[in-house]
Copies of this chain bind each other. A is one copy, B any other.
């Protein structure tokens, strides 16, 4: 029952629960099908045909087709005449698509995923810090120091420690001056936010201001190698906690 307005549809309202993100029928459809795919609902049974989806959810074929096209654009499915729409293998999925990432995290989160996230950060953030040290963007470096100051304020109880920590790491990604690194903002924010929820161990652990400052100072000093090493140390600490 994705149905919103009336129109002349005769579909009975008994299916669906298209989630929250239903700004319109197509978005709701996309969300419902996306979640269903990542949770493996079609691993054993075939993906439904246009007609079946339209009937099951009580929407027109236009809506189902446009939703399926969007899933195709995100790499989740592939449609062919006569053979129908098929769920693509996992490695074809675009994991860095915000929707895909969200669907995945809502259900499939685990320590395993968190470790993989953190290993990715171990690759990304040191390089971003090194680039930031090379780029010499004064305004961006100012932001890094401002977020560092925010971490200090958080330590005094004047700000949210987690939010400040996240902001610092995003500032470094931004200071790299490389749009590809900026794309990881969402991943980093997610990884840090959920770290807390999944490892009690980290809860007591307050991020070391000194080690964060070392990264900022190395960037300021235009020393890429030191920036890389200091940033790597930060992530290695997280990795130790996650790996146990």
Q: Mark A153-190, 1 if CB is under 8 A from B, else 0.
A: 00000000000000000000000101111110110000
Inter-chain contact A120/B181, CB cutoff 8 Å:
yes
Q: Which stretch in A39-47, A67-75, A210-218 binds the other chain?
A: A67-75
Inter-chain contact A116/B74, CB cutoff 8 Å:
no
Inter-chain contact A123/B127, CB cutoff 8 Å:
yes
A110 interface hit (Cβ, 8 Å): no
Q: Is the interface of A mostly helix, strand, loop or mixed?
A: helix
CA distance A131 to B95 in the complex (A): 19
Inter-chain contact A179/B91, CB cutoff 8 Å:
yes
CA distance A71 to B180 in the complex (A): 19
**In the complex where A123-B123, A180-B116 touch, is A26 in contact with B69 (Cβ < 8 A)?**
yes
Within 8 Å by CB of A62, from B62, B122, B128, lies B62
Q: Which of A41-97 contact B (CB under 8 A)?
A: 62, 65-66, 69-74, 90-92, 94-97
Within 8 Å by CB of A178, from B90, B116, B127, B181, lies B116
Give the bracket for the number of chain A residues in contact with chain B: 35 or more
Within 8 Å by CB of A65, from B66, B98, B183, lies B66
A126 interface hit (Cβ, 8 Å): yes
Within 8 Å by CB of A74, from B73, B95, B180, lies B73
Q: Which of A118-164 contact B (CB under 8 A)?
A: 119-120, 122-124, 126-128, 131
